[in-house]
Amino acid sequence: MLMRASEKNHHKVVDLLLKKPNIDVDATTDNNQTAMMIAAKAGNKDILKRLLSASAVDINEALILVSISSGLLDANLFKMATKRI
């Protein structure tokens, strides 16, 4: 559900899901994509920021590359991402 909400840019749904104590923000699809990767590919910068702020999110090279190629990785997002690596 988090992945779908991230793809469709549903801010309120993402916010509600991130408040759930058992939400797995690092869960992957069959194609090995996380909610962050899906949000980045869809161009949903605000969702990406929300997910970056989630404490358990795993930042990896693939996410950074997707964000760069989608034009989403501005200076502020880069700072948020690199603090987590």
Whether 57 and 47 have beta carbons less than 8 Å apart is answered as no
- The amino acid at 39: A
- What residue numbers bound the domain in which 56 lies? 2-84
- CATH number of the CATH domain containing 31: 1.25.40.20
User: Could you please report the per-residue DSSP string of 24-69?
Assistant: -TT---TTS--HHHHHHHHT-HHHHHHHHHSTTPPP-HHHHHHHHH
Q: Give the chain's domain count.
A: 1
Rounded distance between C-alpha atoms, residue 27 and residue 33, angstroms: 8
Q: Is the pLDDT score of 3 beyond 60? A: yes
Residue 31 exposure: Cα atoms within 13 Å on the Cβ side: 7
Please write the tens of the pLDDT for every residue from 27-69: 899 998 889 889 888 888 889 888 877 756 666 666 676 767 6
> Model pTM?
0.72
